[in-house]
Structure 1
Amino acid sequence: MKRTGDTKQSAKKAGEVCVRGRPREFDTATVLASASQVFWNRGYHATSIDDLCKATGVLRGSLYGVFGDKHGILLAALDHYAEGSVARLAERLNAPVPPEEALRNALMHYARVACALTGERSCFITNTTLEMQSGDEEVRARVAAIHRRMATLLAASVIRGQASGAFNSTLDEKAVGAFLLCVMQGLRVLGRVAHEEDALVGVVDVAMRALV
């Protein structure tokens, strides 16, 4: 006899099959990583479904079956990319060094990456923000949520710096978090023009002095 819990679990699995149709024949994370690269390199509007099929190795019907349409693939790709981006920012800000050093290193990372990238790549999130129309509420909401997560991590870094005496204790950490997010985004955009790291070091130094 099946236990009640087993029956409920089986029903849940059956429901998933009914909603999703046949089981996925690909690894979602791998597909979204490939899709992110295509959108990142080409932009949303210049990317076709055929481009995505070729890059991911997944048939059009399977992509549509999981993500709905090209716009749905973009939203899922943004979510996937953001998870890695936010996690890496958190790791840098929480590095086992003084908080002011960790913050400066994090900002310099974005300067270095921006200078190293060529053409229109910049940051996937930044590129998408600049390309998509303001009326695309779903993309706007996704990007806004990503930015909130990053600003929260930056604000926490400021609090740690204030606790250690490195940063001005009277600063509002939320306002500073938003300021540092603007600096990060600015570095990403400026890096598309100034491809030398030294050109952006001054920006990072001014940002750091503003916290003292």
Structure 2
Amino acid sequence: MSHSRQSAKKAGEVCVRGRPREFDTDTVLTHASQQFWDHGYHATSIDDLCKATGVLRGSLYGVFGDKHGIMLAALDHYAQGAVARLAQRLSATAEPQQALRDALLHYARVSCALSGRRSCFITNTTLEMQPDDEQLRERVASIQRRMATLLAAAVIRGQASGAFDSTLDEQAVGDFLLCVMQGLRVMGRVAHTEDALTGIVDVAMRALT
């Protein structure tokens, strides 16, 4: 669990303005991330978050500080699940090459299913992020590093099995595959077909052999 989520969870376990906690932190962050995901950070107001979560403004402020704090905690909450799901797909019992291809194809399918504004919460946040928002930049960079590390580990497994070129630098390839994943997300926003995105995945896989 990230430091911010630990802090939010701890805050949620104490009294807010002398009253017992009235909400489950994880549930609130799930609803908050959905609101930010659907509408973006700047278009989401505190009133929107109160309505989405069913929690009063004072209680939200008491746990998360302000709207920016809610956004950071919501992104951490969402990213924890997203990174865990990627790790699970990459560690599947299939051969390393197939497991990696299936993981990338998942993003192709999801990108088409979520075409339009909604896309991916992490990708949307990255695209909307302001250059002077250092806290959010660090959060996004941390999420990207975790994903790239998982992808690099998948490349190493593929190299060990003989499926991938052993001379490739696994860290550079991990970054490359992260770019492919993010690119699939962005292209899915403009209604590319699943076949077209699958073709991109196949080109990426050929680059590893």
Q: Structure 2 length as normaliser, TM-score?
A: 0.91
CA–CA separation in structure 2 for the residues paired with 1:147 and 1:20:
37
State which structure, 1 or 2, has the greater radius of gyration over its C-alpha atoms.
1
- Describe how 1:5-20 pairs up with structure 2 within 5 A: 17=14
1:95-149 Cα offsets, whole Å, 9 max, x none, are 1100000000000100110111133111101101111211100000000000000
Kindly indicate whether residue 79 of structure 2 is the aligned counterpart of residue 88 of structure 1: no
Kindly indicate whether residue 30 of structure 2 is the aligned counterpart of residue 33 of structure 1: yes
Structure 1, unmatched stretches of 5+, are 1-12
1:180 paired residue number: 177
Task: Count matched residues.
Answer: 198
1:179-201 Cα offsets, whole Å, 9 max, x none, are 00000000000111134200111
Structure 2, unmatched stretches of 5+, are 1-9
Q: 1:20·1:66 contact (CA, 8 Å) conserved in 2?
A: no
1:65 paired residue number: 62
Letter in 2 for 1:154: L
CA–CA separation in structure 1 for the residues paired with 2:98 and 2:189:
25
Q: 2:177·2:204 contact (CA, 8 Å) conserved in 1?
A: yes
1:145-172 Cα offsets, whole Å, 9 max, x none, are 0000000000000000001000011111
2:5 paired residue number: none
Q: 2:32·2:52 contact (CA, 8 Å) conserved in 1?
A: yes
1:98 paired residue number: 95
Q: List, as ranges, runs of 4+ consecutive aligned residues in structure 1 with deviation greater than 4 Å.
A: 16-22
Letter in 2 for 1:50: D
Letter in 2 for 1:71: H
CA–CA separation in structure 1 for the residues paired with 2:157 and 2:26:
34
SS for the counterpart of 2:99 is helix
CA–CA separation in structure 2 for the residues paired with 1:53 and 1:76:
15
CA–CA separation in structure 1 for the residues paired with 2:145 and 2:165:
23
CA–CA separation in structure 1 for the residues paired with 2:29 and 2:194:
30
Q: Structure 1 length as normaliser, TM-score?
A: 0.90
> What fraction of aligned residue pairs are identical, expressed as a percent?
81
1:211 paired residue number: 208
